[in-house]
Chain A
Amino acid sequence: MDSLQQRSSTVQEPPGAVPTYRPTPPPAWQPRTDPTPLLPDTEPLRVLGTDAVADADPALLLRLYAELIRGRRYNTQATALTKQGRLAVYPSTHGQEACEIAAALALEERDWLFPSYRDTLAAVARGLDPVQALTLLRGDWHTGYDPHEYRIAPLCTPLATQLPHAVGLAHAARLKGDDVVALAMVGDGGTSEGDFHEALNFAAVWQAPVVFLVQNNGFAISVPLAKQTAAPSLAHKAVGYGMPGRLVDGNDAIAVHQVLTEAVARARRGGGPTLVEAVTYRIDAHTNADDATRYRAAGEVETWRAHDPILILERELTERGLLDEDGRRAAAEAAETMAAELRERMNADPVLDPMDLFSHVYAEQTTQLREQAAQLRAELEAEGEA
């Protein structure tokens, strides 16, 4: 500052020149007074493997462990079902189980989850029936459950389009006087969509009780993060909208749970939205139909395997004497039971009524749809007779 003034004072002003420019804020500019820091930390928050883990509740650690084991098993089972032709497609969250589950467990029952098509595991961790969670991907209906029953919006395929919905629902709940929080999940690629930006802006302007969780798993199908954004981190995007950005190690279930719990609490007490970026990695391909060798090196996957969310939690629990061989076996057996049940239920052919095509297009069927329904019924009858 001093040197600047010195330099400007040495400039020879010609007579009649405009007065020296003095930088002052524009008249309407107001400094920000909210003490919550908006900028994320430079390093993703880690709890596992640090001294901070001593504060973690052992019961929570064990619960997360059991859920991660179940989640991993769910991923491998669903992937196997694609190979058997029981699922049309499955976008695996192998490697991302910690963000999926720890985030879902940070919600209260009255809260809402707005998942993307990848977030079956978060939905299941929240209590959704594992088979109903797969309906979209099996192809028997678009949404296999009543969203109000579980307070889980339909798994959303068009990217980032569920985010404004989360803002609207959270806003509506607040208008009604309910202390409901919405958690909206999106991938790193989805943050490039206009809907992401509009949702964040609305949320901040309305101070809506919503938490945005970006699972940065490194790729949007084949496109790496560096081609998606030039921002220092995705959490940094929060600053421009006027909400805090938080960066967390997405493979550290405890850290994710802590950051999400804080963000949810903040939203619930009227503190407004938070953007959380969980840094993680997609171990499997984008879906079973994708060939990941086209765009990434095998070595990269291996470095992330060493930072596996289950591995690092298990190590911690074992070192602290919270988990022994019996505990591991119990968790594995519970997961196996879930998988066996899932397999069995998914192996039954869903019973479908083609007439359902016309059932829920409108509250009351139009004349045209009644005609078309009659046409299909006649076709089906003719088929049956043939």
Chain B
Amino acid sequence: MTTATTGPAAAKAGGGAGKAKPATMAQALQRAMRDAMAEDPTVHVMGEDVGTLGGVFRVTDGLAKEFGEDRCTDTPLAEAGILGAAVGMAMYGLRPVVEMQFDAFAYPAFEQLISHVARMRNRTRGAMPMPIVIRVPYGGGIGGVEHHSDSSEAYYTATPGLHVVTPATVEDAYGLLRAAIASDDPVVFLEPKRLYWSKSDWSPEAPAAVEPIGKAVVRRRGTGATLITYGPSVPVCLEAAEAAQAEGWDLEVVDLRSLVPFDDETVCASVRRTGRAVVVHESTGFGGPGAEIAARVTERCFHHLEAPVLRVAGFDIPYPPPMLERHHLPGVDRVLDAVARLQWEAGS
């Protein structure tokens, strides 16, 4: 995996050296694409409404103006066509960055994703890599109507050949997207849409090394139990960890950042320290990512565990209408309930 670094282009993009200005996650993603396009003429952005409008979340804002419509292209409205065309472009040496407008509108492209994008390298014995990034705004919590709130990560993680990445912070949004674009393999880049407007004092003017894809990070140190989470559930877990302190529970929070590849090392090191683990995500629980994670942790850390690995997930139902979504999404209370079920008195 290539390690991308913010360079001079990033400094230019930020408007010269100076002190950091608060940026949203949407802006960080946009800067990541802009910097990558400035550095590498083979990077092309395409999708529905990404040009003149700058995307429905404005993540591609200004790219068409700066780089022209051939580099940031409003495509016809057809996801299978968009991703299929990206396959051909990648075959000819370009690095397409494709935007799917919403989670549930990526489904028409599954044929291309699963039958071609994910396995082209393998079937051609490495002759035809697919350096494509598929950006998918995903997840709920924004009051979107039907088909605008799916957590589809399990479909992607079940497909060998795809990297699956999801940032939870503004800094990671920039760094991970740069790394994804630099990757010679296809990356499904899941953007937690309810974090698009979250802010940070991050600025690309301060050059920062970007970690390669596949490294989890400990967001909060703790000794009593590990909350293993990613994407939109990271802020929920951090809030839960703060609230748990009042109960005398000292929680560690691990942000996976990448589901494929999976960072067993960071996760297991944490669980071995704490002896207890809860996996938290908003996608459905049955057959969801938490099932895989809990199994891995159990296989690797069994002798360190003082309780079974628990899961807090969305219910196993089609994503509900906005007026009911708060009952579906795992919130702080549900995380704390699970933590309580770790039978603290037994171990401590």
Contact = CB atoms under 8 A, between A and B. Distances in A.
Interface in A125-158: 136-142, 157-158
A221 B55 CA distance: 10
Contacts of A157: 104, 145-148
Interface in B47-85: 48-49, 51-54, 56, 74, 76-81
Nearest to A378: B337
A350 interface: yes
A81 interface: no
A228 B315 contact: no
A352 B108 contact: no
A294 B104 contact: no
A222 B49 contact: yes
B346 interface: no
Interface of A: 88-89, 117, 136-142, 157-159, 189-190, 192-195, 220-223, 227-229, 294-295, 350, 352, 354, 356-358, 361, 366, 368-369, 372, 376, 379-380
A356 B315 CA distance: 12
Interface residues of B, number: 38
Contacts of A142: 145-146, 321
A150 B321 CA distance: 22
B197 interface: no
Contacts of A222: 49, 51-53, 74
Contacts of B327: 354, 357, 376, 380
Contacts of A139: 143, 145, 321-323
B246 interface: no
Contacts of A369: 315-317
- For the complex of A and B, 6 pairs with smallest distance between CB atoms: A139-B322, A222-B53, A192-B76, A189-B77, A354-B327, A192-B78
Given A136-B145, A140-B321, A361-B316, 20 more contacts: A88-B144, A89-B145, A139-B143, A139-B321, A142-B145, A142-B146, A157-B148, A190-B77, A193-B78, A193-B108, A194-B81, A221-B56, A222-B49, A222-B52, A228-B76, A295-B52, A354-B324, A357-B324, A357-B327, A361-B317
A21 B323 CA distance: 70
Nearest to A354: B327
B344 interface: no
B155 interface: no
Contact of A361 (B80, B318, B324): B318
Nearest to A191: B77
Contacts of B52: 222-223, 294-295
Contact of B324 (A194, A221, A352): A352
B95 interface: no
B333 interface: yes
Interface of B: 48-49, 51-54, 56, 74, 76-81, 104-105, 107-108, 143-148, 286, 315-318, 320-324, 327-328, 333-334
Contacts of A223: 48-49, 51-52, 74, 76-77
15 contacts: A142-B145, A142-B146, A157-B104, A157-B146, A158-B104, A158-B105, A193-B108, A194-B80, A222-B49, A295-B53, A352-B324, A357-B320, A358-B317, A368-B286, A372-B315
A349 B49 CA distance: 35
Contacts of B107: 158
A221 B51 CA distance: 12
A194 to B, nearest CB: 5
Contact of A357 (B56, B146, B317): B317
Nearest to B52: A295
Contact of B77 (A193, A350, A358): A193
A352 B325 CA distance: 12
A356 B143 contact: no
Contacts of B108: 158, 193-195
Contacts of A158: 104-105, 107-108, 147
A138 to B, nearest CB: 8
A299 B146 CA distance: 34
Contacts of A192: 76-78, 81
Nearest to B146: A142
B3 to A, nearest CB: 36
Contacts of B146: 136, 142, 157
Given A137-B145, A229-B76, A372-B315, A221 B321 contact: no
B145 A221 contact: no
Contacts of B334: 379
A157 B54 CA distance: 22
A357 B286 contact: no
A141 B318 contact: no
Contacts of B56: 221
B77 A88 contact: no
A138 B146 CA distance: 11
B48 A220 contact: yes
B330 to A, nearest CB: 11
B53 A294 contact: yes
